[in-house]
Amino acid sequence: MSQSRYEAAMSRRTLLGRLAAAGASYIGLTAFSRAGIALGQGAKWDDNFELSVDFDIAQPTGGRYHRPYVAVWIEDSAGHPIRTLLLWVNNTGRGPRYIKELRRWFGVESANAQQIISSVSSATRQSGKYNVVWNGRDDAGKVVDQGTYRVLIEAAREHGSYGVIQQDLAMATSPKAMDLQGNEEIAGAHIEFRRRK
């Protein structure tokens, strides 16, 4: 890995870490398992499939709670960031920075670069339960190869805890689902490489 790519990967990983208050401990960084990398090598992502990531925000007993900062993204087998799926960060002051990142997923960047979405209207969703999907495109919109990718869910809280959930998953042509163990901020997660509905 070149130094600059390595730094790009590290800066993404520590994005929330830098935003979190001093005293937060960084956990969950482990060496990437090389197993399964050769799977489907060379073949492009099959558009009959998608990755679905469900996560539950840990709920303190009773009452209301502020949503933590959360980032969900995909890395390749070398640890390079491939695609940011979700980024909720502190955005007080001018220009909420998460919107810049989220633009892509509202289809804004390609079609109407000026449109920034303030909010979303939908049928009522259950408290604290969120879902994001990955369609096998990188941050530049290019189709990725089939292979093993790492799913990362990072959560942090101002003056609070910090944790990362990460899991490697082979994404080629066979469906696969896994429940992931949670931490102090994310109660649990479920990832599923599935056929598109």
Q: Does 61 bind other proteins (CB under 8 A)?
A: no
Distance, C-alpha 194 to centroid of its chain:
17
Rounded Cα gap, residues 19 and 91, in angstroms:
11
Tell whether the torsion through CA atoms of 90, 79, 174 and 144 is positive or negative: positive
Q: Which helix (H) or strand (E) holds 73?
A: strand 69-75
Longest dimension (CA), the chain: 50
Stretch that binds other proteins, among 12-20, 124-132, 170-178, 186-194 (CB under 8 A): 124-132
Site string for other proteins, 127-166 (x = CB under 8 A): xx-xxxx---------------------------------
Q: Stretches 15-23, 83-91, 177-185, 186-194: which one binds other proteins (CB under 8 A)? A: 83-91
Give me the least distance between CB of 49 and other proteins, in Å please: 14
Q: Which two tokens stand for residue 21?
A: 């208050």
Q: Which stretch, 34-42, 107-115, 136-144, 151-159, contacts other proteins (CB under 8 A)?
A: 107-115
Q: Is 102 in the site for other proteins (CB under 8 A)?
A: yes
